Structure 1
C-alpha cells in the first residue's frame, strides 16, 4: 500500500503545525505528505519546513488562483497530487486533508482498513461531529476525502472547482464503486465549515455550489431553510439563495448533475415515508 496525503493551505499558520503533529502521532502515517502553499502571506509553509516529521514531507508553493469561489483549494490539491504522482505513480490511496482538521490518532488506520474489507469501496471518510458543524452523515465531508487509486482515476472528468467535493461521490458511484461513510470515525474542525472567508461569503458560495452541482430546486429550498437557524442566521440563508439564483451555468457534466438531482429526489421520498428513521440515519438525530 502506498498512501499519499495532500493538504492545500492558504494562510493556515494557526492550524498547519497542529495537523503536522497529529499526523506524526497517527498510528498509520502517510508514505508521503504534500503541503501546497496556495499563495499564503503568513508563515504556514515555513512552520512545516522547520518541523522534523516521521514521514516524507514536501512543501510546494504556487500563486492563489481565484480564491475559494474559483476553486483554488481544489486546484491546489490537484497540483500537489500531480507532483506526488510524478514521484510515486504506483500509489494505492490518495487523500485530501484540510489543515484545520482535528485528526484522532487511529483515524487513518481505521479508514484505510475499509478498502481491504470491500474491494468495491472507492471513497472512505468519517463523520464531522459537534452541533455547530452537523452535516448529513451519508456523505464523506470535504475536509477528509480518502480515495482509492481506482476512484481517483474515475474522477478525471470532474472539474477541480467549487463543488468538486460533492460531485466526486456522484462520479465514483457512476463508475460502480461504493462510498463508505464510517459513522464510528469521528473528527472535528477548528473553524466552522465554509467560514474561511467569512460566513456570509461561505453561504453565498454554498448556494452557487448547489446550483452548479444540479440541486433539485425543492431540495435546495429545504437546504436553505435549514440554515436559517445557523449563524449568521437569516442573513446566511438569504446569501445562499442569492448565490443559487445568480450562479452562472455550472462546469459539471449533465449526466452527473442529473444523477445528483435524482439522488436527492430519492432522499426526500424516503424522508416522506419514514421521517423519524430518515432523520436518525441522515443526521444522527433522534427525533
Structure 2
C-alpha cells in the first residue's frame, strides 16, 4: 500500500518510540527505509538490532553536520531513491510514498485514516495529519502552516510524487513539493483530526536560534515577499518562545546582505512572491472577520 522513509541523526532517544509507533499501525508500510545520517550516538546500534522483519531497511551515510537546508533533503532523497529502487528490483507494489521524522509519534490508525482520505478524493496528491505537541498532557495543534501538509507524517500519491520531480535537494523540500503539486492541479491537504505528535518543536533539533536563523535563509532562498517575511516575524514573536522571530529575521536579512543565491525555479519564486502573500492576507482577513 505505501512505503516510508525516515531520516535519523543522533536519534537514539526517539527511535525506539518511533519504531513502536510504526509497528502499532493498523496499516503498516510495505517497506520502511531508515537513513542514518552518520549518527554518533546509539542510533546505529538500535538500527542494527532490528528484529522486526525484513520490511525494515537501514542505510548509513557518512558523518555530516546537522543541516535543515540542503543536507536534510539530501538525506531524505537517499532514502526515497533506495526505497523506490528496492521496490522495483523486488517487484513490491505501492500506491503511496511517506515521510516521517524520528521525533514523531502517530495514532495507531494514522496511515489507515490518511489513505482512506486519498481513496475518498482521487485528486488529493499530498496529505498529512495535524502536528500536535504534548503540553503537560494536553495536545495542542501546531499553529504554523495549518493549510498545507506538514513535512513529517505526510503521504504522496505515487503518481503525484513522480509528476512533481520526486524529492528535490532543496531547502524546505516539502513546501516545494506542495507547491509543485498545486501548480499541476493536485490537491494538498492537512487533516487535523488525524493526529501526529512531534516530541520537539520544528527546527529545534540543533536549538531554536540556529533553526530559525536557517528558516530565515530559507525564506530568502524561496523568494518570499518581504511583507510575508515581516508578517511571519510578527507571528513568531507572538507565541512561545517569543524570541524566535529575531533569528528568523536575522537569517533573512543576512542572506540579503550576503547576496546569497535563490532557488532557480521561476514558478516557485513567483508563488512565494505573489500567491502565498495573497493567501496569507486572505486568511488573516477571514480570521479577523470571524
TM-score by length of 2: 0.88
Separation of aligned partners in 2, 1:269 and 1:162: 24
Separation of aligned partners in 2, 1:105 and 1:96: 16
Separation of aligned partners in 1, 2:166 and 2:24: 35
2:14 aligns to what SS in structure 1? helix
Partner of 2:219: 210
1:259 aligns to 2:276 (yes or no)? no
Partner of 1:53: 52
Alpha-carbon spacing, 1:266–1:70, altered in 2? closer, same or farther (3 Å): closer
Partner of 2:262: 250
Separation of aligned partners in 2, 1:255 and 1:169: 12
Q: Give the superposed CA RMSD.
A: 2.1
Structure 2 residues not aligned, in runs of 5+: 134-139
Deviations, residues 84-105 of structure 1 (Å, cap 9, x unaligned): 1112135321111100001110
* Count of residue pairs the alignment pairs up: 276
Partner of 2:109: 106
1:23 aligns to 2:22 (yes or no)? yes
Partner of 2:136: none
Partner of 1:275: 287
1:95 aligns to what SS in structure 2? strand
Deviations, residues 16-75 of structure 1 (Å, cap 9, x unaligned): 111001111110100100000011101113213313225610110012456314422221
TM-score by length of 1: 0.89
Alpha-carbon spacing, 1:49–1:252, altered in 2? closer, same or farther (3 Å): farther
Structure 1 residues not aligned, in runs of 5+: 278-286
Whether the 8 Å contact between 1:30 and 1:55 is mirrored in structure 2 is no
- Higher mean alpha-carbon deviation, 148-157 vs 75-84, is at 148-157
Whether the 8 Å contact between 1:127 and 1:181 is mirrored in structure 2 is yes
Separation of aligned partners in 1, 2:23 and 2:166: 34
Alpha-carbon spacing, 1:72–1:268, altered in 2? closer, same or farther (3 Å): closer
2:193 aligns to what SS in structure 1? strand
- Higher mean alpha-carbon deviation, 21-30 vs 109-118, is at 109-118
Q: Return the offset for 1:232.
A: 4.8
1:14 aligns to what SS in structure 2? coil
1:274 aligns to what SS in structure 2? helix
Separation of aligned partners in 2, 1:126 and 1:157: 21
2:3 aligns to what SS in structure 1? strand
Partner of 2:237: 228
2:237 aligns to what SS in structure 1? helix
Alpha-carbon spacing, 1:157–1:147, altered in 2? closer, same or farther (3 Å): closer
- Higher mean alpha-carbon deviation, 8-17 vs 83-92, is at 83-92
Partner of 2:78: 79
Separation of aligned partners in 1, 2:278 and 2:225: 11
Q: Return the offset for 1:200.
A: 0.2
